[in-house]
């Protein structure tokens, strides 16, 4: 049977499908990760109506695929082709920045002490509450454009700088509008405040911290989340998942359990910020509740990692945050020993990870945490898609979304080797080549 295509990518040095087999060596570690890359030397990709229809060696393309009349043809010019990256953990929607407190942090003051003096997350909350939906969309769109220039085609967007019903809904609406592909054609030369730049998935993080006005009565804020915010977010269809920051200075184990159970009941998938500073049992909780991922994990013990692995919870590494906070990074060999899948994300946020560069994060995951280059490549694509609960992307296989990126490097291992500053030469979103990406 011959397949019809409306887009082909040719001229590649290699295509990494991320759909290779898991070997008996396991899913992680040098051998397992290498096989899972599904590397096709001189590979080609064909798509139709926004989905991949064929991936294989370019010399077999002609016998397998016919091009439709207006088919687009992308010449990779000897570069590597990867699935579009999934940035599976971001706080993309916020106003203001925190460069002043960054100076205090670098002078030695702790994250917690800055937060206790009214800085930290609350300072971004004040700026975000004061911003209009259009202003927030403009800011998030600029960040999304930068992410896309690095080859990102799907971005997870958390709320969590509103921390009151209306402001949380506004942030989630921005996340949704940002992902309305095709609804807001980009206009040449004007500020890109229109959304539609990347695909998004949205996560409700009303449980980021207890906002200042509820500090004396935190139980009321947890009630507010469970009784008003989650029902409103779910009934308006504004979030795909719910996240809780379970750590010292944020929410405790019982509060996290109640919030996540309520969210699960409302039909939301679950995520968790766990073990950034202390292990409060987040690995076990994520496993017990069937969360998609637990993220940060710098302080997580082996018991927590093992529980996550048994339950298929993905571990998300956030190098920008451990670097900014000057923490001891997690150790990939412990994750490997537990058989835990490792994803990597930017954690783009104004406090602990002001970056929109997934390749910088991948490079730091390799240097600081000891991931192999192959594990890093899996970590920003297929493992990130799993962490975000998106089985239709992160890999190039027939039926998957035709979201891909071409890089001007013949060997894809160069991408996490460079210390950031890696840009895609082409990005394809839903089978549509993006000009000037
Ligand atoms: O993922 N850990 C909690 N939340 C963010 C930081 C948010 C902030 O400082 O504004 C993070 O690192
Ligand atoms: Fe985060």
Give me the pLDDT at residue 436, please: 55
H/E stretch holding 342: strand 342-344
Both 215 and 306 in a single domain?
A: yes
State if residue 89 touches ligand 1 by the CB under 6 angstroms criterion: no
Give me the pLDDT at residue 115, please: 87
State if residue 209 touches ligand 1 by the CB under 6 angstroms criterion: no
State if residue 379 touches ligand 1 by the CB under 6 angstroms criterion: no
CATH number of the domain where residue 329 is located = 3.20.20.140
State if residue 121 touches ligand 1 by the CB under 6 angstroms criterion: yes
Q: What is the pLDDT of residues 48-100, one digit of tens each?
A: 999 999 999 999 999 999 999 999 999 999 999 999 999 999 999 999 999 98
Both 181 and 111 in a single domain?
A: yes
Q: How many domains does the structure of the chain reveal? A: 2
Give me the pLDDT at residue 187, please: 47
Both 287 and 339 in a single domain?
A: yes
- The atom number, within ligand 1, closest to the CA of 120 reads 9
Give me the pLDDT at residue 392, please: 98
Give me the pLDDT at residue 116, please: 86
Ligand 1, atom 8: closest residue by C-alpha: 351
Both 119 and 253 in a single domain?
A: yes
What distance in Å separates the CA atoms of residue 153 and residue 348, rounded to the nearest whole number? 15
CATH number of the domain where residue 58 is located = 2.30.40.10
Q: Which residues of the chain have pLDDT under 50?
A: 25, 187-192
Both 21 and 115 in a single domain?
A: no
Give me the pLDDT at residue 117, please: 87
Both 405 and 274 in a single domain?
A: no
Both 176 and 205 in a single domain?
A: yes
Q: What is the pLDDT of residues 165-221, one digit of tens each?
A: 999 999 999 999 999 866 555 544 444 455 678 999 999 999 999 999 999 999 999
Both 229 and 218 in a single domain?
A: yes
Angle between the N-to-C axes of helices 165-178 and 133-149, in degrees from 0 to 180, rounded to the nearest 10: 40
- Among all bound ligands, the one having the nearest atom to the CA of 203 is 2
Both 199 and 58 in a single domain?
A: no
Of the residues 367, 387, 407, the one at which a domain ends: 387
| Cβ burial, residue 294 (10 Å; 0-12/13-18/19+) | buried
Both 180 and 325 in a single domain?
A: yes
Both 262 and 351 in a single domain?
A: yes
Both 65 and 18 in a single domain?
A: yes
Candidate from 298, 349, 353 with most ligand 1 atoms within 8 A of CB, to mutate: 349
For residue 30, the enclosing domain spans: 3-83+395-434
């Amino acid at each position: 049977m011959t397949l019809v295509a409306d887009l082909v990518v040719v001229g590649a040095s290699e295509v990494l499908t991320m759909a290779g087999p898991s070997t008996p060596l396991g899913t992680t570690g040098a051998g397992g990760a290498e096989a899972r890359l599904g590397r096709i030397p001189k590979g080609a990709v064909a798509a139709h109506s926004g989905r991949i229809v064929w991936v294989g060696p370019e010399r077999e393309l002609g016998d397998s695929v016919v091009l439709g009349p207006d088919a687009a043809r992308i010449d990779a010019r000897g570069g590597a082709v990867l699935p579009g990256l999934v940035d599976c953990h971001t706080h993309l929607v916020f106003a203001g920045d925190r460069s002043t407190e960054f100076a205090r942090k670098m002078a030695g003051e702790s994250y917690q002490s800055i937060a206790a003096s009214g800085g930290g997350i609350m300072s971004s909350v004040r700026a975000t509450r004061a911003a209009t939906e259009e202003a927030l969309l403009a800011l998030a769109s600029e960040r999304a454009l930068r992410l896309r220039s690095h080859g990102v085609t799907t971005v997870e967007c958390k709320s969590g700088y509103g921390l009151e019903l209306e402001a949380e809904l506004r942030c989630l609406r921005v996340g949704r509008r940002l992902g309305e592909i095709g609804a807001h054609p980009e206009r040449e030369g004007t500020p890109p405040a229109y959304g539609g730049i990347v695909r998004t998935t949205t996560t409700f993080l009303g449980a980021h911290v207890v906002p200042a006005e509820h500090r004396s009565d935190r139980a009321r804020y947890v009630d507010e989340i469970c009784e008003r915010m989650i029902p409103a977010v779910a009934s308006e269809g504004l979030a795909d998942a719910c996240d809780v920051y379970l750590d010292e200075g944020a929410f405790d184990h019982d509060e996290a359990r109640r919030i996540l159970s309520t969210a699960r009941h409302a039909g939301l998938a679950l995520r968790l910020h766990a073990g950034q500073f202390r292990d409060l049992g987040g690995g076990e909780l994520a496993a017990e509740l069937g969360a998609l991922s637990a993220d940060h994990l710098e302080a997580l013990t082996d018991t927590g990692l093992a529980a996550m692995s048994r339950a298929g919870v993905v571990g998300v590494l956030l190098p920008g945050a451990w670097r900014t906070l000057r923490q001891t990074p997690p150790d990939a060999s412990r994750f490997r020993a537990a058989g835990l899948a490792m994803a990597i994300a930017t954690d783009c946020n104004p406090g602990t990870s002001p970056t929109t560069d997934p390749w910088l994060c991948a490079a730091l995951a390799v240097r600081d945490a000891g991931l192999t280059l192959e594990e890093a490549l899996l970590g920003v694509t297929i493992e990130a898609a799993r962490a975000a609960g998106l089985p239709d992307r992160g890999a190039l296989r027939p039926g998957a979304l035709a979201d891909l990126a071409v890089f001007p490097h013949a060997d894809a291992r160069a991408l996490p080797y460079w210390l950031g500053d890696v840009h895609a030469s082409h990005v394809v979103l839903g089978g549509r080549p993006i000009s000037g990406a």
